[in-house]
Every structure is written in structure tokens, then in C-alpha cells.
Amino acid sequence: MIFFMREDIIQTKLDKLEQLKAAGETTYPEKSKRTMTNAQALEKFDALAGQDIFLVGRIKSMRSMGKVTFAHIEDESGKIQIFLKKDEMDEARYKLFISAVEMGDFVQIEGVLFLTKQNEKTLQVKNWTMLGKSMRPIPTEFYGLKDEEELLRRRYLDLLMNVETRELFRKKSKFWNAVRNVLLEQNFLEVQTPVLEHIPGGAEAEPFKTHHNALDQDFYLRISLELSLKRLLVGGYERVFEIGRVFRNEGIDREHLQEFDHMEFYWAYADMEMGIALTEDMYRKIAQAVSGGLVTEWEGTQIDWSKPFVRVDYFTEFLKETGIDLSEDVSVETLQAKALELGIKYEKTYGKGRMIDTLYKKTVRQKLIQPCFLVGHPLEVSPLAKQDPANPNKVLRFQPIACKSELGNGFAELNDPIDQRARFEKQMKLREEGDPEAQMLDEDFLQALEYGMPPACGFGMSERLFAILMNRSVRETVIFPPTRER
């Protein structure tokens, strides 16, 4: 639904604006005299008795009965009732208020607190000042914007109308603060790395491309933080992390967006078990910070983050769900046949790794509801992870999973430049065969590895975890998600 604006409504508001100007009112002043928030006024009601105070906010309701008018003003802290009485304030100011001020306007109120007969804490108005005239009517709870797409496009109206939406993004701030605090407490250094890259890497995703006018070169928007952060391990840092925006030119669904916030840490001389321990502790602290407890709800199911995350072996569960033993030499044709048998869609350009991953996501992952770690991934789906010395068909990789969703990705990082080059070359062959998400060969990164990188554990996670904790789609939990132009 598109929210059309009638011309007569706009004209009425323009007329009221001119009325305010004609009365000498500064309709958009640069500052206010606010002495406290609305919540503070209500909290300190008894102590403030008889004192003149200044409150500000947007008018959210208004009811005039001739000589008296009731209204509510709202700031970020909450709403408070205001009361205007014609006989107890300047008559011209009273008349101007009821004729030219309306819902949606920002006002400053000077007055004294009192208790109404209905025991509602109220500010009796002595004077008022216009702080910002609204030129469009604010949608109400019952009329106006109902379409979800339009609410996402006009998120400012969603925030304006819905307290729960404002609270959602306060929780999201707590989410990233919890991540940051855990890592800072472990002596990780927070850094910022480039968004524009010559070669995008660190994930299997199709990148966005742009042109740098000053350098007259094409760049890609990063799809991961990984390769830049690993270069810092080469440079001598031992514990680094970044929280930043990444961009992936893929489809929109409940779990995927084209741009989203992402965190990755890299920890030199740490092994996979150390990474698992840190990640499990971090996820519990995140859940506690965001939800106030360690049990959340997802699609009617209680998700318990307090219990130890069980280990789920990739090969074992894949064999159980598909009948295919990945420890054997499995062909692409065998995987494609199984996909057809199970009614799973795939692209003809998919190589062995992509086929394995596609089957896993539609079978094994669908059974993983409570928090767990998926471990023992096949080499073909992990081009940046170190091989498992106990089984060369596997890599040292771990993924926290809950609610059928991959909620992070960790590796014992590959630091052998010869092995890394060979894996990049295999990925490039897949690109040449038509897979746009296969990784590109990054010669600069390989040269960095050739100078030597210590053994390390790396881990990455996105705001998908927050969406799961909130039992919402990731798109709902992005404050301004990308939308189709009307």
C-alpha cells in the first residue's frame, strides 16, 4: 500500500503554519529549554511540586473542550499528559494552541505538575513554544500504514508508531555491545578494514562492483572481513576483531540480506577448541544481554542457551540423512541424483562442494533446533580452513547452529600458502565453470601468507543471531533494510 497524501490536508497544515508565523511564533527554533525528560518528571513528581519545569515532545493525542484542552506529549523516555486552561494562561496563546497546533507537532511546554481527579500525573501549561511543525499527518494505530513493506520502507513511521519497534533496536545495540565487551575483556584489539577491495574473499558469495573515480579502477564491496584481518596476524597482531558492514549480492529471504553487520575475530596461537569455548561463552552472554535470560522462543519452541552446546559431526549426520558416506570418493553425479530423489533444487554449475552444502542445508540442518556446534566439515566446502590431521577429508571447522540456522562460522585457519593457493585455484576453476559465488584467487593475500602467518583460530557471525533471538526475520531487525523503489 502506498500512503497517499490528500492536497487539502497538506494545504490545511500550510495554513496553520502561516497562522503561527503571523502570530510571531518561531516555528522551527534552533534549541529548547528542556529541563528534564518526561520520564524524569513523572519519577520526581512529588519533589517537583510547585516548580516551573520545561518538557518537550511530539503531540500524540489532543482533546479540546472549549475552555480546557488535554493532550499528551511524547519524548524518547515516554508520554506525559498536559493540561491547558483558558482562564489560567494567556488567552491568545491558548487560542493559538487549539487552532494551529495539532498531533505530530513538536512543542515545548512550560508548566507545573499536578494530579488530576483521575490521579494522572499531568503538567498544567503556563506557556508553550513550537519546536517543529509537522507537515504530514502521523498515521495512527488504527488508520494509516498497515503494509509490512511500506513500514520497512518508511521505518521512521514504524518507529514513531510502535514502541516495540523502538525497543527492538535498543536490544540490537545491546547485542553488539555484548559481542564487543566479550572480546575486549579477552584483550582483542578492535580494528577497521577497507570496505572497497580489489579482490573480494573470505566467503562464498557474489559481490557488488563499483568504480573508484580517483584511482580509475573497479573495486568490489567486501563480502567478508577475513582476508584483511588475517593480514594483521601476518603483521604481528595476535588478537583482532572487527564489527562492520559486508555486502553480498544474493537473494532476500528470512535469513539473508544484501548488506548486514558482521563480526569476525582472529586469535593467533589459539586452536579450534579455544575458539569453541570463547564462542559458546559469548553466545550465552549475548542471549542474557538481549533477552534478560538464557531461554528464548523461536516459532513456539523454547530455545535453551544455558546447556552445553552438543557436537554434531557433519559426516555422521550427512550419512544418516542422505545415505551418502562422504569419507568415500563421492561423485558430483551421485550427489545430484540424491538431490533429485529428495526433491532438492540445484544449479547445473554446482561443483562437489556446493552440492554437498545444498544437500546438508535441506536435510541435516533442518533437524538442528537447540544450540549445537556442527564440526568435521568436508574439505570441499571449506576453502579457508586447515585440514584435520586425523582425517584429510575433513577440516577443523565449527559452526554454532540453532533454530535450523547457521549462526556463525569458525576455523582453525589455513596458514599454509601452498595449500591455500591450490584451494584458490580450485575455486577459480569453479568460477570459470559458471559458479559466481566461488572464491577468487587473491594474489596479495597469498603473498602475505608467504611471509608467514601463525596458527590461529578465526570466527565470524552476523546479526542473524539477533534475528533468531528476537524470533523475527533478519530483514525486520535491520533498521533501514533495502526495499524495492516504488
pLDDT at residue 340, rounded to an integer: 97
| Predicted local distance difference test score (pLDDT) of residue 1 | 36
Separation between Cα atoms, residue 243 and residue 434, nearest integer Å:
32
Q: What percent of the chain has pLDDT over 70?
A: 97
Mean pLDDT of 213-230: 95
Are 243 and 181 a contacting pair, CB within 8 Å?
no
Handedness of CA 162, 283, 378, 435 (dihedral sign): positive
For residues 224 and 383, what is the distance between their CA atoms, to the nearest angstrom? 14
Q: Tell me what pLDDT residue 149 has.
A: 79
Question: What pLDDT, on the 0 to 100 scale, is given for residue 484?
Answer: 78
Q: Which of 305-309, 387-391, 420-424 has the highest mean pLDDT?
A: 305-309
Q: How confident is the model at residue 142 (pLDDT cuts 50, 70, 90)?
A: very low
pLDDT digits (tens, 9 = 90+) for 77-90: 999 999 999 999 99
pLDDT band at residue 439 under the 50/70/90 scheme: confident
- Band of residue 5 on the pLDDT scale cut at 50, 70, 90: low
Please give the pLDDT value at position 349.
87
Q: Following CA atoms 280, 281, 283, 287 in sequence, which dihedral angle do they give, to the nearest 10 degrees?
A: 140
Q: Is 378 helix (H, G, I), strand (E, B) or coil?
A: strand
Do strands 78-85 and 121-132 pair parallel, antiparallel, or not at all (unpaired)?
A: parallel
pLDDT of residue 218: 95
Measured from the Cβ of residue 336, the count of other Cβ atoms closer than 10 Å reads: 17
Q: What is the mean pLDDT of residues 255-269?
A: 94
Q: How many whole angstroms separate alpha carbon 150 and alpha carbon 166?
A: 17
* Interior angle at CA 283, CA 277 and CA 285, nearest 5: 105
Instruction: Match 533495502 to its residue by C-alpha cell.
Output: 482
Residue 366 confidence class, pLDDT cut points 50, 70, 90: very high
Residue 373 Cα to chain centre, angstroms: 23
Q: Predicted confidence band at 253 (pLDDT cuts at 50, 70, 90)?
A: confident
Nearest residue to 197 via CA among 205, 207, 206: 207
Instruction: State residue 3's pLDDT score.
Output: 46
Going by pLDDT thresholds of 50, 70 and 90, the confidence category of residue 7 is confident
Lowest mean pLDDT among 61-65, 104-108, 117-121, 425-429: 425-429
Does pLDDT of 145 surpass 80? no
pLDDT in tens, 23-80: 999 999 999 999 999 999 999 999 998 899 999 999 999 999 989 999 999 999 999 9
Residue bearing the bigger pLDDT, 6 or 274: 274
| Measured CA distances, 235 to 226, 348, 454 (Å) | 14, 41, 10
**pLDDT of 143 above 50:** no
Is pLDDT larger for residue 2 or for residue 355? 355
User: How far are the Cα atoms of 10, 31, 407 from residue 129, in angstroms, in the given order?
Assistant: 22, 11, 50
Q: Read off the pLDDT of each residue in 180-191 and give the average, rounded to a whole number.
A: 98
- Report the C-alpha gap between 407 and 463 in whole angstroms: 9
Compute the distance between CA of residue 388 and CA of residue 395 in angstroms, rounded to an integer.
5
pLDDT, greater one: 116 or 138:
116
What pLDDT is recorded for position 209?
Answer: 95
Domain boundaries, the chain: 7-138, 159-309+371-470
Q: Which residue has the higher pLDDT, 114 or 432?
A: 114
Q: At residue 146, does pLDDT exceed 70? A: no
Give me the mean pLDDT over the 222-240 stretch. Answer: 96
CATH class, 159-309+371-470 region: alpha beta
pLDDT band for position 2 (50/70/90)? very low
Look at residue 148 in the predicted model and tell me its pLDDT: 75
What class, spelled out in words, does domain 7-138 have in CATH? Answer: mainly beta
Query: pTM of the predicted model, to two decimals?
Result: 0.89
To the nearest whole number, what is the mean pLDDT of the chain?
93
Please tell me the number of Cα atoms within 13 Å of 478 on its side-chain side: 23
430 vs 14, which has greater pLDDT?
Answer: 14
Q: Return the higher-pLDDT residue of 257 and 187.
A: 187
